[in-house]
């Protein structure tokens, strides 16, 4: 079991979270129409978020970050997720998967170089998925070949659906360093690749169903040369393990975002139900409307409890592969159900773009897909259940 992480002083963190909640409601919510109209987070808000330290929440204090533990980080994500998803998306890769991989697998020299940079606001992206592979690492086509002089590597390949790619400063790229798939995915290694390295390019941002302002794009690697110290951890064959460890953190982030956005949608439905009248009274008085409100409240509360449990386990140093997957599955599926009820409560207005319910519905759909689809995670949960059962027989 790993050492526990106490995180930021709880009183200081409570004050920070209170300030963040006010910032979300007073600054970010009014900016949502701008984000939607221009499909980007406004530059002034992006700078404010950097100054607030949101890009370095989980970076150790001695390297310029806030040093939050996982429980505190998840609470920040939950709070930020009350606003449009783009605000969380822009910093989540930094403080989630990228920093987790750097913490778990980086050398002291790599940590000393990259932690201050991402804490200062440099934006990271995470390059695992490819046109022909996602969870199936054996099908990965991106290669990293050692230079003849042994001083570096040359990367070639394409990564797909990469969050933040259009404006990222650095990418953590997973690449095949062995031709054949070795046991425990040891054919995959991880590389820290500055996005301005010659040969790195990105495609145009993909047009998506929802989540305006949060950008994804392809990352193309064409004879990209990186020095030897770009290899995460300084060893080949460990990249996939670092990626999977960091995906647990990413799944917790998506679960927290799902719960936070579901809370936003339910609050919107409550307001609408008390204002909209039918048959001479607010529709909130109708029992079947109350049923949908109550079911949504119950499920959000369950997700919030799961979040507190799994993050506390992480901070105690427990292995949480199964719990992180279960939380992400439940929270993302729950969010979809809540959004569907919210549209139904809005009635015909819920189908119109001028009302928030339609946007909530589209935005939430991705939560059940990225960082591991529900189906892939169900397979993972069952695999670990069976493995644990057989180990104890």
Separation between Cα atoms, residue 349 and residue 271, nearest integer Å: 14
The two most distant CA atoms of the chain are separated, in Å, by 82
Give CA torsion, residues 27, 253, 233, 145, to 10 deg: -90
Say if CB 99 and CB 58 are below 8 A apart.
yes
HEC readout, 304-369: HHHHHHHHHHHHCCCCCHHHHHHHHHHHHHHHHHHHHHHHHHHHHHHHCCCCHHHHHHHHHHHHHC
For 289, other C-beta atoms within 10 Å of its C-beta total 21
Say if CB 373 and CB 218 are below 8 A apart.
no
Signed CA dihedral, 312, 314, 319, 323: sign only: positive
Which residue shows structure tokens 């949480």?
Answer: 320
Active site residues: 371
| CA distance to 70, 88, 105, 147, per residue, from 307 (Å) | 10, 17, 25, 45
**β strands within 30-166, DSSP E:** 124-127, 143-146, 152-163
State the first-to-last Cα distance of the chain, in angstroms, to the nearest integer.
23
Say if CB 125 and CB 162 are below 8 A apart.
yes
Signed CA dihedral, 22, 24, 25, 27: sign only: positive
Which DSSP string do the residues of 13-29 spell out, in sequence order? Answer: HHHHHHHHHHHIIIIIH
Pairing of strands 281-282, 216-227: unpaired
Say if CB 59 and CB 114 are below 8 A apart.
no
């Amino acid at each position: 079991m790993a050492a526990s992480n106490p995180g930021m002083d709880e009183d200081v963190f409570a004050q920070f979270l209170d300030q963040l909640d006010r910032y979300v409601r007073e600054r970010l919510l009014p900016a949502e129409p701008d984000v939607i109209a221009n499909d980007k987070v406004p530059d002034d808000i992006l700078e404010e978020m950097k100054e607030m330290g949101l890009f370095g929440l989980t970076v150790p204090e001695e390297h310029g970050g806030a040093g939050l533990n996982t429980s505190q980080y998840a609470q920040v994500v939950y709070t930020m997720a009350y606003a449009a998803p783009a605000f969380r998306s822009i910093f989540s890769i930094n403080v989630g998967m990228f920093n987790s991989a750097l913490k778990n697998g980086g050398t002291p020299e790599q940590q000393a170089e990259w932690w201050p940079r991402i804490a200062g606001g440099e934006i990271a992206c995470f390059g695992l998925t490819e046109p022909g592979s996602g969870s199936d690492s054996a099908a990965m086509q991106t290669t990293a070949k050692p230079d003849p002089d042994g001083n570096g590597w040359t990367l070639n390949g394409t990564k797909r659906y990469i969050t933040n790619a259009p404006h990222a400063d650095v990418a953590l790229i997973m690449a095949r360093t062995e031709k054949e798939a070795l046991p425990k995915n040891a054919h995959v290694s991880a590389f820290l690749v500055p996005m301005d390295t010659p040969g790195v390019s990105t495609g145009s941002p993909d047009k998506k169903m929802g989540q305006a302002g949060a950008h994804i794009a392809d990352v193309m690697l064409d004879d990209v040369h990186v020095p030897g110290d770009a290899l995460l951890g300084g060893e080949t064959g460990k990249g996939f393990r670092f990626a999977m460890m960091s995906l647990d953190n990413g799944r917790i982030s998506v679960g927290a975002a799902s719960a936070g956005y579901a809370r936003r949608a339910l609050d919107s439905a409550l307001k609408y139900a008390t204002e909209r009248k039918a048959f001479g009274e607010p529709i909130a008085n109708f029992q079947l409307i109350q049923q949908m409100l109550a079911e949504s409240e119950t499920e959000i509360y369950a997700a919030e409890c799961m979040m507190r449990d799994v993050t506390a386990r992480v901070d105690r140093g427990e292995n949480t592969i199964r719990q992180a997957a279960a939380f992400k599955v439940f929270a993302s599926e729950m969010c979809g159900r809540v959004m569907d009820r919210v549209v139904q409560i809005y009635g015909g207005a819920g189908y119109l773009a001028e009302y928030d319910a339609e946007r909530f519905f589209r935005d939430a759909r991705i939560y059940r897909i990225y960082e591991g689809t529900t189906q892939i995670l169900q397979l993972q949960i069952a695999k670990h259940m069976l493995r644990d059962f057989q180990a104890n027989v």
